[in-house]
Amino acid sequence: MRIVWIGSWIVSVALLATVDCKPRTLTEVPMPDYKSFRHVKSGLLLKGDADDLLTGIHHVYANDAAVEALRNRSDFPEDSVLVFDLFEPLDTPEGYKEGAHKFTAVMHKHSSFKSTGGWGYEAFLPDGKRVVSDANKMCFECHKSVESQGYVFTNAGMSE
């Protein structure tokens, strides 16, 4: 009798755990703790190279899930997070250096963001203010051009 009771208890706990794992809905992209992420690459875009908004020194960071996908060139799993952190370019005699922090752009893969290719887009100002009012127009329309790479531009520069 006792064995049967323990058995059904285990089944109930397992069922509860299943219910608990129901996917959560995201209404907005959370600000990630990206300084603990893996640095993937950096780049310098000067006036004329790109839209003024994107000019500067940028660093791309990825969380573990996104690093694995980049490394294996596989699909990005749920909760993959990529960051594009941008600074003004300071032209000094010793070369370009990081100036003022412009913004931190974030892509968060989640089924809640179906209308923008399964990625949520947000950009945070240094004071934490959100700036994306229309992710489709401000971000997705450009990232759509790399649909074959899962809407992610960064596909190289990962050291093995």
Query: Applying CB under 6 A, which residues contact ligand HEC?
Result: 41, 43, 51, 58, 60, 82-84, 105-107, 121-123, 132, 138-139, 142-143, 152-154
Tell the smallest beta-carbon distance from residue 57 to ligand HEC (Å): 10
The minimum distance between CB 86 and ligand HEC, in angstroms, equals: 9
Our CB check for ligand HEC shows the closer of 18 and 133 to be: 133
Instruction: Please check whether residue 151 is in contact with residue 143, taking contact to mean a CB–CB distance below 8 angstroms.
Output: yes
46 contacts 72 by C-beta, under 8 angstroms: no
What amino acid occupies position 75? D
Residue 54 is given by DSSP the state G
Q: How far is the CB of 34 from ligand HEC (least distance, A)?
A: 10
Closer of 9 and 64 to ligand HEC (Cβ): 64
Task: Give me the least distance between CB of 111 and ligand HEC, in Å please.
Answer: 18
Cβ proximity to ligand HEC, 6 vs 125, nearer residue: 125
Cβ 31 to ligand HEC shortest distance, Å: 12
Q: Cα separation of 152 and 143, whole Å?
A: 7
Neighbours of 85 (CB within 10 A): 22
Residue nearer to ligand HEC on the CB measure, 7 or 157: 157
Contacts with 104 (C-beta within 8 Å, 6 or more apart), sequence order: 31, 34, 83, 84, 85, 86, 123, 124
First and final CA of the chain: distance in angstroms?
55
Between 90 and 158, CB nearer to ligand HEC: 158
